[in-house]
Amino acid sequence: MASIPLSQPDISEEDIEAVTAVLRTPRLSLGPKLPEFEDAIASFVGAKHAVAVNSGTSALHLCIRALGIGEGDEVITTPFSFIASANCILYERATVKFVDIDPETYCIDPALIEAAITPKTKAILAVDIFGYLADWKALKEIADKHNLLLIEDSCEALGSVRSGTHAGMFADCGMFAFYPNKQMTTGEGGVIVTNREDIAAQARSERNQGRALDSKWLEHRTLGFNYRISDINCALGTSQLKRLPEFIEKKKQIVEWYAQELADVADKISVPQEQEGVDISWFVYVVRLADHFTAKDRDALIAHLESENIGCNAYFPAIHLQPVYTAQGYGEGDFPVTEHTADRTLALPFFTKLSREEVASVCSIIKDGLNRLPQLSS
């Protein structure tokens, strides 16, 4: 059978024309498409400010800096995410304090946070994982009680909404990422969203080598970075954003197809569930093997899918077991829910142009692999 990739962007002729139109102008960077894209994102999520940058990682880093987090500070975060959620803390020589996750939403577990707070704790950085929203009501109560800052890594949740509030708008600042596997893409890119003028102003300066908005050319008032995003990327982003509601609805349909196809193996594999009170904008489609399976079984199933040209991957490896963090003293057994989850989860093909027939083919191969797992993993 033809290969089915794990993900792929949905690029229209209108998207291509938006990009080529910029290429016909003399302004490929720091041109009019930058504020146009920022205004469109801010309007979509209901933010006062949006600051576009070259990646979600850059957005995270600039937020850490804008909030004054640095050496001697501790930031509480999740060990189950893309590694940038924790690395951005290390960039400023602050200390990462991991707290385990809720086994259902895979988001940080608020019930475990207060035990991790020390006099050095300055912020909580929670992640809206796979499109699920963290328990921001509980997190804000904890943050207010202990006078902590809140950072929302919403890079995987653009378009998710709880009670009228968009992902990215539950904390002091939030951010989105636009890598080609996200809900929409700019090719590469990210954006900070916030209602705080001070955060936006500092991020705008530092993304452009510390140059203030009223600075003369080559006048740099503070330490900054080359985190600029081009007008080419911004034009693609503005065009894609117009189609985001369509993308969200298409992915909801694919979620339904997978659930229907895998319903008869629910004792062996669990599928993503809706989140009460949240209209989810799905990022990836991650399934979890039943508890009696092992990481070896999961890896064997991945190998089986790959042998049939089906794109899939473990999602996510535990951050605290990555070399950067084991070198700091973290190890196996530190966060049992995260480790149990990371050993049994895998992402399946998930993109807007995925057909019902392709979903059925993927699920047929999964079922064959599940039936053969003792043999496959031996």
Q: Would you state the pLDDT for residue 98?
A: 98
Q: Which element (helix H / strand E) includes 142?
A: helix 136-146
Question: Is 268:298 a contact under the CB 8 Å cutoff?
Answer: no
The residue assigned the tokens 């020589």 is 93
Cα 133 to Cα 138: distance, rounded to the nearest angstrom:
12
3-class DSSP assignment, residue 133: coil
Residues 110/60/38/255 CA torsion (nearest 10 deg) = -50
Q: What is the pLDDT of residues 223-261, one digit of tens each?
A: 999 999 999 999 999 999 999 999 999 999 999 999 999
Q: Given pLDDT bands bounded at 50, 70 and 90, which one contains residue 220?
A: confident
Backbone angles phi, psi at 168, to 5 degrees: 100, -15
For residue 368, is pLDDT > 90?
A: yes
Question: Is 232:32 a contact under the CB 8 Å cutoff?
Answer: no
Q: CA nearest 337: which of 92, 109, 100?
A: 100
Rounded average pLDDT over 295-307: 96
Q: Given pLDDT bands bounded at 50, 70 and 90, which one contains residue 52?
A: very high
Q: Given pLDDT bands bounded at 50, 70 and 90, which one contains residue 2?
A: confident
Q: Would you state the pLDDT for residue 214?
A: 76
Q: Would you state the pLDDT for residue 357?
A: 97
This prediction's pTM: 0.97
Q: What is the pLDDT of residues 262-271, one digit of tens each?
A: 999 999 999 9
Q: What is the pLDDT of residues 156-192, one digit of tens each?
A: 999 999 999 999 999 999 999 999 999 999 999 999 9
Cα 204 to Cα 50: distance, rounded to the nearest angstrom:
9
Q: CA nearest 18: which of 156, 159, 187, 175?
A: 187
Cα 142 to Cα 150: distance, rounded to the nearest angstrom:
10
For residue 1, is pLDDT > 70?
A: no
Tokens of 172: 């002091």
Alpha helices in 26-83 (DSSP H): 33-45, 56-66
Residues 21/22/23/24 CA torsion (nearest 10 deg) = 60
Domains and CATH numbers, the chain: 13-100+107-240 (3.40.640.10), 244-376 (3.90.1150.10)
Q: What is the pLDDT of residues 302-329, one digit of tens each?
A: 999 999 999 999 999 999 999 999 999 9
Cα three-residue angle 251-256-260, rounded to 5 degrees: 145
Tokens of 311: 């794109």
Rounded average pLDDT over 200-214: 92
Number of Cβ within a 10 Å radius of residue 249: 11
Distance set, CA 239 to CA 10, 12, 343 (Å) = 11, 9, 38
Backbone angles phi, psi at 314, to 5 degrees: -65, 135
Rounded average pLDDT over 355-363: 98
Q: Given pLDDT bands bounded at 50, 70 and 90, which one contains residue 374?
A: confident
Q: Given pLDDT bands bounded at 50, 70 and 90, which one contains residue 216?
A: confident
Q: Which element (helix H / strand E) includes 299?
A: helix 295-307
Residues 173/44/157/89 CA torsion (nearest 10 deg) = -20
In this structure, of 173-177, 338-342, 369-373, the range with the lowest mean pLDDT score is: 369-373
For residue 218, is pLDDT > 90?
A: no
Cα 186 to Cα 234: distance, rounded to the nearest angstrom:
7
3-class DSSP assignment, residue 96: strand
Q: Given pLDDT bands bounded at 50, 70 and 90, which one contains residue 212?
A: confident
Cα 300 to Cα 305: distance, rounded to the nearest angstrom:
9
Backbone angles phi, psi at 338, to 5 degrees: -60, -45
